[in-house]
Structure 1
């Protein structure tokens, strides 16, 4: 029987996807394809509240791509492989609900690029993060050069990528690569707790905020504010906005329905 490379669990609309390619959970072609299928399925769902990504075991979240696959690459195949990974991670980033990464061990190369495509990263205290592709004579190819520089600034991203050095959890927190550090063995539980709290929020507002932030960072401030006005106006027409205001005035808990 073939190993299930992506283990999926669901609770109250919160999905947890466990990368299951032990011991290092390398992102080989089968696992990348499984992630793509999951993203396609959840993007078509109106009931998904959040997605959590984590790794199986205690050693790694995902320690990069499968190096054996690199041996067959030439220029054309390299571009094709890079585009496929970028497209999948872009689709993950564009999901209209929160995507949270629970980093439970080594998070390297494509594994870190996957984490950078999520909204929130919760790291256990023992983890190591890195983009060591330069040591293989290549560069990050799944969006790492672009997402990391937008996240921590061009200079720090160059220092990190040029050197191929690893960061520990506290360094990653200080630089803003992760949002929270938790004790060993607790990242997934912390992610689930946070995701369940977000699941009670109005889904249209969460989706709108995510759209405004993700798209706004790519354009000028004036264009970003124009986008914000558009999303704000659209939300003002929603039943959730009326419910939120009425619940506040009536001093009761709101019941958001995503309409």
Structure 2
């Protein structure tokens, strides 16, 4: 695939729960901050594909690109792919809202791209599409200090549709030595089933099948909420805490961050590619 050239930085090996949070991350953001994050991003309507191919790229943008407007141009160029690439069922590009674990803080992504596809060939076609290649070469590579990418097939029982304004928690995990990733997927499936749709969350998870740019992360999961307030309210939920406890012994290192899917109608005009 033609995506970002990853600059690998080792991160500490930690023992953290899925959906973890750090003291800094517990601060409630002002509504204006949430709106600002959404204004810089957009989400095409997401089809409720039962088992989508999930594609995530975490991007650490150069500080000068944030102040010059180059980062905003990068977001626009990626958002524009929603109308340019066949087989792309959903795409969101925008800033990270909160880094919620030490591993996330060490990696330091400022932006991310999340897209979905019905099949692996659709993902491969997206990667090779001239519009995608042009956006990466003209806007992403010149402005990215680092990139991390993972892909998985949703192993959850149902879909996790994203709507404008959805608050999403992304969890990437490495398993302990001797633990099969398939076992973690099975345990997460059982734990999430036992927890139910805690406070309205919808989940997608699975084993990463693109290890080259994943920095060792073998598993990915998203939990989708209707709002940041609903995401924050899940902290301390008894069923969620029990689900964490069930999978924690299998985990070595966990990266957790939050982001907001922007309103589809706020997508800026397509960038010149």
Q: What TM-score comes out, normalization by structure 2 length?
A: 0.21
Q: Which has the higher contact order (CA 8 A, sep 6+)?
A: 2
| Higher percent of residues as helix | 1
| Higher percent of residues as strand | 2
